[in-house]
Amino acid sequence: MRSALWLLVALAPLGIEAAALAADTPEHPAPGAVATKAKPPGPIIERRVMSMRWRDRSYRIQVAAPHGEAPPEGYPVFYTTDGNGLFDLAAQTAFIEAAYQDYTSMPPVVVVAIGYESAHPFDPMRAYDLSPPDPAPPKDAKVMNNEAVAGVGGADHFLDFIGQSLKPAIEQQYKIDRHRQALFGHSRGGLFVLHTLFTRPREFQIYIAASPAIWWHDRFVVKERRQFLASLPQRPTNARLLITVGALEQGSDMVDNAFEMSQALTGLQGKGLEVSYFAFDQEDHISVIPAAISRALNFAFKNAAGKHAGPK
């Protein structure tokens, strides 16, 4: 049912250290000056690529992890969908934040990006993996190009892969803090994050839905929300949710839907759900991604307000 193959252990610790040294060492020191090597400002990371199969599907898993001994409780972990397009951005953001922990209060984080064996930043196969199983799809539902290629409704199978295969593989390689596991997704990935929260709320403790495609199938995820809310008295959860959106994303009612979703879930702290919402000014559906990832990492793992204004 499952198989994993570690394909590559990149020498990222050396590469990142070299980059850190270069940033603080003059390229051409003055005559008679002695060039000294500055110590990297924070934890060096290593990067790995893992090929995994689950049932009839193949995934490329990219991992960035701090290099060295883990803290006693283990590392917090940041899982993101659409790994082909988002891994480098998430890994580098986490690295920079942790490297200047005195300013950011960001701990070292393991980043796990789930992607596909292709060069496409947003592979068409995501249409199946990231969409909920809708037993009665609307007859006039718009069929996107990716859906025509890959189909829809595979989110639960994808969750099975994450919970039963991917997480155990990651925990064999790294010491993970199971109390600080975050799931991030953008667009259809954001829809998947909401579906996961509403149907398997204990799979993660932190959920970040960036520009979620709530419009999909006549807002099918709103039906899942109603079922989730009805179950809370009998099945209280302990989770945090951040919903973000770009202010220029009003196509498909993206902004209104994101705000409405956050409002419908606000006020549930007594039942174990903490909800936050943020809209990024002057950002559209694509330009918002870097800001959303930065905000997601800070929401998930930042311990407290930074101690200083920033590196000098």
Distance CA 284, CA 33 (A): 49
Q: What is the pLDDT of residue 56?
A: 86
Axis crossing angle, helix 289-301 with helix 83-99, rounded to the nearest 10 = 50
Residues identified as active-site: 187, 249, 285
Distance CA 207, CA 190 (A): 9
- Give the CA-trace dihedral at 190, 191, 193, 197, to 10 degrees: 140
pLDDT in tens, 17-60: 333 323 333 444 444 544 444 454 455 678 899 899 988 899 99
* DSSP state for residue 161 in the 8-state scheme: H
- Average pLDDT for residues 164-178, to the nearest whole number? 96
Higher pLDDT, 46 or 274: 274
Structure tokens at 281: 């000014």
Higher pLDDT, 268 or 15: 268
Contact 107, 78 (CB under 8 A): no
1-15, 70-84, 165-179, range with the lowest pLDDT = 1-15
Higher pLDDT, 225 or 43: 225
Statement: residue 312 has pLDDT above 50: no
Per-domain boundaries in the chain: 2-20+40-301
Q: What is the pLDDT of residue 44?
A: 64
Q: Which residues contact 160 (CB under 8 A, 6 or more apart)?
A: 54
According to CATH, the superfamily of the domain at 2-20+40-301 is Alpha/Beta hydrolase fold, catalytic domain (3.40.50.1820)
- Give the CA-trace dihedral at 106, 112, 115, 120, to 10 degrees: 30
Q: What is the pLDDT of residue 41?
A: 47
Q: What is the pLDDT of residue 15?
A: 36
Q: What is the pLDDT of residue 144?
A: 58
Nearest to 229 by CA among 241, 237, 217: 237
Q: What's the mean per-residue pLDDT of the chain?
A: 83
